Amino acid sequence: SYELTQPPSVSVSPGQTARITCSGDALPKQYAYWYQQKSGQAPVLVIYEDDERPSGIPERFSGSSSGTTVTLTISGVQAEDEADYYCQSADSSGAFVFGTGTKVTVL
Amino acid sequence: EVQLVQSGAEVKKPGESLKISCKGSGYSFTSHWIGWVRQMPGKGLEWMGIIYPDDSDARYSPSFQGQVTISADKSIGTAYLQWSSLKASDTAMYYCARDGSGLEYFDYWGQGTLVTVSS
User: Tens digits of per-residue pLDDT, A15-55?
Assistant: 999 999 999 998 989 999 999 999 999 999 999 999 999 99
Per-residue pLDDT at A1? 63
Is a pLDDT exceeding 70 seen at residue B105? Answer: yes
**How does B61-73 read in b/e, with b if 16+ C-beta sit within 10 Å?**
beebeebbbbebe
Write out chain B residues lying below 8 Å of A1, CB-based.
61-62
Q: What is the per-residue pLDDT for B107?
A: 96
The DSSP H or E segment spanning A23 is: strand A18-23
Q: How many CB atoms lie within 10 A of CB A94?
A: 13
Contact B78, B24 (CB under 8 A): yes
Contact residues, A window 2-61, toward B, CB-based 8 Å cutoff: 31, 33, 35, 37, 42-45, 48, 54
Q: Do A95 and B112 touch (CB under 8 A)?
A: no
What pLDDT is attached to residue B93? Answer: 98
How does pLDDT run across B15-69, given as a tens digit for each residue?
999 999 999 999 999 999 999 999 999 999 999 999 999 999 999 999 999 999 9
pLDDT at A2: 81
Q: How many CB pairs under 8 A join A and B?
A: 62
pLDDT of residue B101: 82
